[in-house]
Amino acid sequence: MKVIITLKKSVIGSRPEHIATIKALGLHKTNSSVEKELTPQIKGMIHHVQHLVECKEAE
């Protein structure tokens, strides 16, 4: 299953661990999106920064 992850909030002022997770997901600017395969590792990363991103299922 694939998901589209969109960065909805700025990482300015966020903890360094959250900024590193956002970069590891491949997100750079606000409203940028990436499509990823939903693995347990990606699911954990999304959970870690769920207050900064929006996630929806890809068709």
Percent of the chain with pLDDT over 90: 98
Above 90 in pLDDT, residue 18?
A: yes
pLDDT value at residue 59: 82
Considering only CA atoms, which of 5, 1, 2 is closest in space to residue 45? Answer: 5
Count of the separate structural domains present in the chain: 1
- Per the structure, the complete domain to which residue 30 belongs is given by 2-57
Q: What CATH number has the domain bearing residue 19?
A: 3.30.1390.20
The mean predicted confidence, pLDDT, of the chain is: 96
Question: pTM (2 decimals)?
Answer: 0.91
Local confidence band at 55 (pLDDT 50, 70, 90 cut-offs): very high
pLDDT value at residue 53: 98
